[in-house]
Copies of this chain bind each other. A is one copy, B any other.
């Protein structure tokens, strides 16, 4: 159906477009009769006022900044990044609206990105946890929208911030090794996930590096990957722990998955860390509350730094180099102990 405008409504209702506008804005100066006639016309025509057109004549312009991310509601770690984003935006709340593009899949992601560019409604764009293709970067650049990436390995062709997952994976594994563990399992997402993300692969490579440096043989049966999240991790761990010779430690690629490992251990009557050490990754907030040993990757800070920089780009302030994040840190807590 073609787009219906205020003019169509006026025509259908047999009134002027000014009158239609008045009922739209609940202006007092309209008789009850004409009002209802207009309302009826709006109804039957399915008229939806164009937001941009309404906004145009108003004094205060609509200024919005977009944040595009993979489903943050499914991952605590994304939510923590967003916390930093909001921190950076504090004080700007009456200046910029935050438009959150929560995508569901790569396809969805690409479409949203395209639509953002087409609409050209965003003053700036923060790309959270997503790898843009060369073409996509080029397209955004063409559009003239300032953009910044968060959680991406440093690249020359766009301003981005992130940490090195391979190093992090190595650190986590080294921690376990330093505690005397030799039978260490890896539990994570599929190495290449549907969204083309290689986080799991990177952390796994770090794990391999650490083992190799320590001269520890890597056992294939201690390597399990699958869908992301708590439940798959629990199931995979159950499998691992039923092995004839079970590992004494597990490196889970996220804190949420570490929770799954711990649940599996509990189900089998194994104590953590006495019978099994569990190492997580991310250092989300609950990890501290519960006492999960993990690798801190400064999630919140990453969002904050990224957004601050984007704000600078938008304001065209001297774009000093993008500040880099503090180093990854191993945070030993109560789920890992000496063998």
Contacts and interface: CB of A to CB of B under 8 A. Distances in A.
A15 interface: no
A82 interface: yes
Interface residues of A, number: 64
A286 interface: yes
A48 B144 CA distance: 12
Given A93-B104, A259-B290, A263-B289, A64 B51 contact: yes
A127 to B, nearest CB: 16
A101 B51 CA distance: 18
Nearest to A259: B289
Nearest to A25: B144
A256 B289 contact: yes
Contacts of A93: 103-104, 108, 111-112
A46 interface: yes
A63 B90 contact: no
A260 interface: yes
6 contacts: A52-B56, A60-B118, A60-B119, A76-B76, A76-B286, A259-B289
Report the 8 A-B pairs with minimum CB-CB distance, sorted nearest first: A73-B83, A52-B55, A52-B52, A259-B289, A100-B100, A51-B121, A52-B56, A26-B142
